[in-house]
């Protein structure tokens, strides 16, 4: 393909991705009341006196405080936008693969389905872990302030915190896919990953501290441990791949 053909293909993939995000955003705009209840549940669980029932979030003592008339509208826009992006993740990954695939060899294209399925599964596994972590993070941060402070959050600040946590965990769980893909393309050597274990530990902790909005030790550990396990899984994958390649080359 010429340069112009590559740019045309890139534009096509971007347009399809934007359409997918827009469709997801419209769906999230319609489902906004249910999504807001779902996002408020971690806040409710962090309050001892709050009703733990997800179906009775409003009126249970864990509402958010809108400080100006335009804030409800901006909150709905934010929920629809971020929700549309998250809902379109499968389409975004598929379009990324469709753009990269023409430049790969046939043996590299065999990993397409595995990368797609595992990428989507890991992203949503990360978002699920984030959702479980948020109440504990809120409780930890609340205890730091002492009993004289009462938690009464504004919508934009609270939802921004929740969405950043969900995206941070979802993107963090894509870590093994990136490492395995780089090994498949022979960009990163398995020996390099093995020698860099000590640096990887420090790098993962620093990266998690940067991408997570709370910065508390609990959240830091909950995300750092899986990411390092993923690092070891990527090393194991590369080792098995090298052994298989060596066995194929032995008779020759």
> Between 19 and 51, whose confidence is greater?
19
Average pLDDT of every residue of the chain? 82
- pLDDT of 251 reads 63
- pLDDT of 57 reads 46
As a whole number, mean pLDDT of residues 218-244 equals 87
Q: Which residue has the tokens 């941070």?
A: 168
Q: In whole angstroms, give the CA distance from residue 71 to residue 51.
A: 25
**What's the pTM?**
0.77
pLDDT band at 4 (very low <50, low <70, confident <90, very high): confident
- pLDDT of 51 reads 44
- pLDDT of 29 reads 94
Tally of residues, the chain: 252
Q: In whole angstroms, give the CA distance from residue 10 to residue 15.
A: 9
- pLDDT of 68 reads 82
């Amino acid at each position: 393909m010429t340069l112009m053909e590559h740019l045309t293909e890139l534009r096509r993939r971007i347009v399809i991705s934007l359409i997918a995000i827009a469709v997801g955003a419209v769906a999230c705009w319609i489902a906004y009341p249910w999504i807001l209840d779902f996002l408020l549940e971690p806040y409710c669980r962090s309050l001892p006196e709050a009703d733990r029932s997800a179906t009775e979030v409003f009126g249970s003592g864990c509402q958010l405080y809108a400080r100006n008339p335009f804030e409800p509208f901006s909150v709905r826009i934010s929920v629809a936008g971020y929700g549309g992006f998250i809902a379109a993740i499968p389409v975004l990954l598929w379009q990324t693969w469709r753009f990269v695939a023409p430049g790969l060899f046939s043996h590299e294209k065999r990993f397409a389905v595995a990368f797609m399925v595992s990428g989507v599964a890991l992203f949503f596994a990360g978002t699920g872990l984030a959702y479980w972590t948020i109440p504990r993070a809120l409780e930890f941060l609340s205890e730091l302030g002492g009993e004289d402070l009462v938690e009464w959050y504004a919508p934009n600040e609270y939802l921004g915190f929740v969405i950043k946590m969900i995206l941070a965990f979802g993107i963090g769980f894509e870590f093994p896919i990136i490492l395995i893909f780089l090994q498949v393309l022979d960009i990163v050597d398995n020996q390099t990953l093995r020698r860099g274990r000590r640096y990887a530990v420090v790098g993962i902790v620093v990266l998690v501290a940067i991408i997570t909005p709370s910065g508390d030790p609990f959240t830091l550990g909950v995300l750092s441990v899986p990411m390092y396990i993923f690092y070891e899984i990527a090393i194991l994958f590369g080792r098995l791949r090298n052994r298989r390649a060596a066995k194929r080359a032995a008779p020759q």
